[in-house]
C-alpha cells in the first residue's frame, strides 16, 4: 500500500474516542476495536496496580476495566487537553516491518482466532504510515515524515462517542488546526482507551480534513509509543497487555 498523505482524500489513524453524537459504525469497526482492546492495550494508568485486594480497590479495578473495554456512561466522558498527549512519540510501524513485533503476533495467535501471519497482515494495514515521529508541545503538533517536519497549532474541538455493533463504545478526542494549511491535516483525532483527563502512554491517531468522514475511518490506526522506548520494550508492553 502506498504511503498515506497528511492531507487529501486518504485519511490516517492515530487513535481516540468522541461524544457530540453517538454514531454506529460497521462490523470492521468492532473487529478492530475489540481485537485491540483485549490484546494490544497498555496499562491502565488511572489505577494503582498494587496488590491491595480490599473492596474499594477491586471495585476501582473493575470500573476501569469496563471503561477500557468500551463500557461506560455518557456522563463519565470528560473533555481533555492536548497536554494529555504531550511528548515525543514514535510510530510502531517500522518495528512491524523489521520483524521486531513478530513476537507480539505469535502471542496473539496463541490466544486468538488468527495465525501469526494473519495478525501481522492485519496490523500491517492498521499501523501503516510514513509519519515516523510526532512531537506534541503545548498546542503545537509536529509531524516528521520522510525527513521533513511540519508544525501546526491545534485547538480542542470536542469529543465524539462511537457505538460499535457489539454494543461497546469508544471516544475520539478531536483537535482542529488553528490556521488552515495545505501541508497539515485540518483535524487530528486521538484514541487511547481513556475517557477523561490522564497522561497517554500510547495512542492511535486519525487525521484528515473532513471531521465527520474521519470518524468513519477504521482501516488504518497508526499507533505511537514514547520515542524513548526501544522496540523490545514496546514488545514487552504489547505482550503484557
Does residue 133 lie in a domain region?
A: yes
- Does residue 217 belong to any structural domain of this protein? yes
- The crossing angle, in degrees rounded to 10, of helices 116-127 and 102-111 is 120
Residue 153 covered by a domain: yes
Average pLDDT, rounded, for the chain: 80
26 lies in some domain: yes
Q: Is residue 49 part of a domain?
A: no
Q: How confident is the model at residue 136 (pLDDT cuts 50, 70, 90)?
A: very high
* The pLDDT of residue 62: 56
Taking the CA atoms of 220, 226, 227 and 231 in sequence, report the sign of the dihedral they define.
Answer: negative
Q: What is the reported pLDDT for 81? A: 98
In a domain, 140, yes or no: yes
Percent of the chain whose pLDDT exceeds 70: 74
Number of structural domains in the chain: 1
167 backbone φψ class: left, alpha, beta (φ>0; ψ -120 to 50): left
Q: Is residue 32 part of a domain?
A: yes
The C-alpha angle with vertex 35 and arms to 34 and 36, in degrees rounded to 5, equals 95
Confidence of residue 162 (pLDDT cuts 50, 70, 90): very high
> Does residue 77 sit within a domain?
no
* Cell matching residue 120: 501481522
The answer, yes or no, to whether residue 60 has pLDDT greater than 60, is no
Tell me, what CATH number does 198's domain have? 2.40.128.20
Confidence of residue 45 (pLDDT cuts 50, 70, 90): very low
Residue 198 lies in domain:
12-43+86-92+126-227
CA angle 59–190–27, rounded 5-degree value: 80
Higher pLDDT, 48 or 5: 5
pLDDT of residue 126: 97
> For the segment 202-237, what is each residue's pLDDT rounded down to a tens digit?
999 999 999 999 999 888 999 999 999 999 999 999
pLDDT at 211: 97
Is residue 5 pLDDT above 80, yes or no? no
Using an 8 Å Cβ cutoff, are 103 and 222 in contact?
no
How far apart CA 37 and CA 69 sit, in angstroms, is 6
From residue 191, give the alpha-carbon distance in Å to each of 25, 36, 106, 117, 181: 15, 11, 25, 26, 24
Amino acid at each position: 500500500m502506498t504511503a498515506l498523505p497528511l492531507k487529501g482524500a486518504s485519511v490516517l489513524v492515530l487513535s481516540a474516542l468522541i461524544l457530540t453524537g453517538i454514531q454506529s459504525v460497521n462490523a470492521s469497526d468492532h473487529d478492530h476495536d475489540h481485537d485491540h482492546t483485549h490484546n494490544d492495550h497498555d496499562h491502565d494508568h488511572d489505577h494503582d496496580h498494587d496488590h491491595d485486594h480490599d473492596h474499594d480497590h477491586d471495585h476501582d479495578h473493575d470500573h476501569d476495566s469496563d471503561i477500557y473495554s468500551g463500557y461506560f456512561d455518557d456522563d463519565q466522558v470528560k473533555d481533555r487537553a492536548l497536554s494529555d498527549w504531550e511528548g515525543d512519540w514514535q510510530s510502531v510501524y517500522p518495528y512491524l516491518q523489521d520483524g521486531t513485533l513478530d513476537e507480539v503476533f505469535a502471542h496473539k495467535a496463541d490466544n486468538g482466532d488468527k495465525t501469526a501471519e494473519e495478525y501481522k497482515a492485519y496490523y500491517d494495514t492498521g499501523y501503516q504510515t510514513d509519519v515516523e515521529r510526532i512531537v506534541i508541545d503545548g498546542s503545537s503538533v509536529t509531524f516528521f515524515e520522510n525527513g521533513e517536519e511540519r508544525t501546526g497549532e491545534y485547538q480542542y474541538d470536542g469529543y465524539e462517542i462511537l457505538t460499535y455493533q457489539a454494543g461497546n463504545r469508544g471516544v475520539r478526542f478531536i483537535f482542529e488546526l488553528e490556521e488552515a494549511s495545505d501541508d497539515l491535516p485540518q483535524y487530528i483525532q486521538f484514541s487511547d482507551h481513556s475517557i477523561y483527563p490522564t497522561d497517554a502512554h500510547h495512542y492511535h491517531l486519525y487525521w484528515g480534513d473532513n471531521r465527520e468522514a474521519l470518524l468513519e475511518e477504521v482501516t488504518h490506526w497508526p499507533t505511537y509509543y514514547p520515542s524513548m522506548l526501544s522496540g523490545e520494550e514496546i514488545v514487552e508492553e504489547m505482550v503484557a497487555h
